[in-house]
């Protein structure tokens, strides 16, 4: 059942291909091996008033053939060169969207059949955006249930100072809300954190987020150059924080401490990710950065003792 301050009522919308209720934006690049399952999960929705816009960054695989094979007029492919900025692909899809609501689905993720029905139900009850839980899936590991929210965490100050608590492939949002803030920021410094930056601007603009405490989709985790990914994500989040902290202008001592604590938290999270990847030397360096940035976070000291370079078997 939903956890939300938005009252719930069932949607009576009927299917109208010319006027879809939901536009599903699916950016993709060389993900043909996953894209078929992603699109099929949209076709399997119990809610049928949707269109799907596959924004293809000129993939070099058989992406176009995969989309054409479905033969469903509700699914269309547009080629768009995003120059490595996925936010640009999502914005292009938003610009083409005809629906009242926009849902985002990364081409390697999937939804469960009730996803759109449950989200539209809450949107029509008064929410501006809705997010549900997901299973995080990684080859060789059991699925991990991840709950987003709760609603109090989707307010601007909480999102800014406590971190992101939402997921792009789990979000459905009013198109009017997206238009009111100009969509995703396409600043290349924020690549991988452009979704977090959008949630911040939506929240600051008064967007009312509803949370569905159910697993209604799967988010795929990939193997790859994990250390580079950790660095890229850290830099992107710090760029988001710099943007929003800078927009606050002159602040008092308490706010300045909160800003330092927030940056330290991000260094700490990165350190734990390095640790999980077996890169203990990088983990130790980032624990130290967290400590220097905000020395009052007690768990940093325990981490430094436990994961310092003096520990046997550590990678350098």
Condensed to tens digits (0 to 9), the pLDDT of residues 88-98 reads 999 999 999 99
Quick one: 104 and 161 in the same domain? yes
Query: Model confidence at 2, in pLDDT bands (50, 70, 90)?
Result: very low
Is the predicted pLDDT of residue 228 greater than 90, yes or no? no
Query: Model confidence at 115, in pLDDT bands (50, 70, 90)?
Result: very high
Is the predicted pLDDT of residue 278 greater than 60, yes or no? yes
Q: Are 91 and 85 in contact (CB under 8 A)?
A: no
Helix (H) or strand (E) holding 308: none
Segment 159-188 shows an average pLDDT of 98
Q: What is the pLDDT of residue 9?
A: 38
> Which of 162, 194, 221 lies at the terminal end of a domain, its last residue?
221
Query: Model confidence at 4, in pLDDT bands (50, 70, 90)?
Result: very low
Q: Are 184 and 171 in contact (CB under 8 A)?
A: no
Tell me, what CATH number does 236's domain have?
Answer: 1.25.40
Is the predicted pLDDT of residue 8 greater than 50, yes or no? no
> Which of 188, 221, 254 lies at the terminal end of a domain, its last residue?
221
pLDDT in tens, 20-30: 999 999 999 99
Q: What is the pLDDT of residue 309?
A: 58
Residues of the domain holding 207: 2-221
Query: Model confidence at 7, in pLDDT bands (50, 70, 90)?
Result: very low
State the pTM of this model.
0.91
Q: What is the pLDDT of residue 12?
A: 44
Q: What is the pLDDT of residue 307?
A: 65
pLDDT cut 70: percent of the chain above it: 91
Distance (Å, rounded) from C-alpha 100 to C-alpha 128? 11
Of 307 and 3, which is predicted with more confidence? 307
Quick one: 242 and 215 in the same domain? no
Residue 275 located in a structural domain: yes
Q: How much of the chain is in helix, strand and coil states, percent to nearest 5?
A: 45, 20, 35
Q: Are 50 and 19 in contact (CB under 8 A)?
A: no
Q: Are 73 and 17 in contact (CB under 8 A)?
A: yes
Q: Are 208 and 146 in contact (CB under 8 A)?
A: no
Segment 205-216 shows an average pLDDT of 98
**Taking Cα atoms as reference points, which of 31, 73, 53, 38 lies closest to residue 169?**
38
Segment 136-160 shows an average pLDDT of 96
CA 248 from chain center: how many Å? 24
Token pair belonging to 105: 């689905």
> Which of 184, 203, 221 lies at the terminal end of a domain, its last residue?
221
């Amino acid at each position: 059942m939903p956890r939300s301050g938005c009252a719930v009522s069932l949607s009576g919308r009927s299917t109208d291909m010319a006027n879809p209720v939901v536009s599903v934006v699916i950016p993709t690049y060389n993900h043909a091996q996953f894209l078929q399952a992603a699109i099929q999960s949209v076709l399997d929705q119990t809610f049928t008033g949707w269109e799907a816009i596959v924004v293809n960054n000129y993939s070099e695989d058989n992406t176009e053939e995969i989309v054409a094979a479905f033969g469903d007029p509700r699914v269309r492919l547009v080629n768009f060169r995003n120059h490595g900025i996925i936010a640009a692909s999502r914005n292009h899809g938003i610009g083409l969207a005809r629906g009242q609501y926009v849902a985002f689905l990364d081409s390697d993720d999937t939804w469960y059949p009730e996803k759109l029905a449950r989200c539209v139900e809450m949107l029509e009850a008064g929410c501006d955006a809705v997010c549900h839980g997901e299973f995080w899936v990684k080859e060789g590991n059991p699925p991990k249930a991840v709950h987003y929210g709760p609603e109090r965490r989707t307010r601007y100050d909480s999102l800014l100072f406590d971190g992101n608590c939402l997921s792009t492939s789990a979000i459905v949002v009013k198109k009017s809300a997206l238009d009111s803030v100009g969509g995703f920021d396409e600043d290349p410094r924020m690549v991988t954190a452009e979704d977090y930056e959008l949630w911040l601007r939506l929240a600051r603009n008064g967007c009312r987020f509803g949370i569905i405490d159910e697993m209604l989709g799967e988010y795929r985790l990939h193997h790859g150059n994990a250390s580079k990914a950790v660095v890229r994500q850290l830099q992107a989040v710090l760029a988001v924080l710099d943007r929003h902290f800078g927009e606050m202008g002159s602040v008092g001592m308490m706010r300045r401490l909160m800003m330092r604590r927030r940056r330290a938290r991000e260094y700490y999270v990165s350190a734990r990710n390095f640790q999980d990847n077996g890169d203990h030397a990088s983990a130790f360096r980032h624990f130290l950065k967290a400590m220097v940035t905000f020395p009052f976070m007690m768990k940093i000291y325990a981490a430094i003792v436990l994961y310092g370079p003096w520990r046997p078997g550590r990678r350098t």
